[in-house]
Structure 1
Amino acid sequence: MLLLQNTAAHGGAEDSTAKKAADHPPVAPSVIVLKSVSGKRPAIFPHAKHQTRHDCDTCHKNENFPRDKKWDLKTGHALCMGCHKAKNEGPTKCNNACHQ
């Protein structure tokens, strides 16, 4: 199981009304650290780098994206490595490119 650690604060993400959420959209993190509870080094996800290349829905509407924000090894590899393999770019093997 991986725990998500966000490196940016979310403004308004906890607001319960749509109006408040629209007035204060969440601030996207530049880097996301996926902490491993199994002893493996955390995976460093360069969120801002991906935002310059992909629309948010590419990942956030993907069938493998965890809606409950509970990431595990299978989820991360299906979403991240699945996309990298399909596009034939980025890290696709466990060679410490992600787990730093």
Structure 2
Amino acid sequence: MHTKSGLMDELGKVKRVVEKVSPVTEVLLVLDATTGQNGVVQARVFTEAVTVTGIVLTKLDGTAKGGIVVSVQRELGIPVKLIGLGEGPDDLAPFEPRAFAEGLVGGEESAAA
């Protein structure tokens, strides 16, 4: 859906309408950790439509390593703020860069720590 320019135009319009009521100070893009490099493409396209201030990376409770975080950070400079470790609203956790990096390289701690 990120390749649909009409949808991206609508996203920009939604933000402009909301800003008429109250300033928008945070725009979080939710990315599925299992999407790989497609997530970088999604992030790029979304940032062209609106200013994204942070990433929420979901599905880190499964086999996904979340290497997309490194690509998005390098290419777009968008910080990861939250990670999803399950399916419920209580399964969101603050992103811990050190634990995440150790999990990527096979350290003792996991991305969930």
Q: TM-score, normalised by structure 1?
A: 0.27
Higher RCO, 1 or 2 (CA under 8 Å, sep at least 6)? Answer: 1
TM-score (norm 2): 0.25
Q: Which has the higher helix share?
A: 2
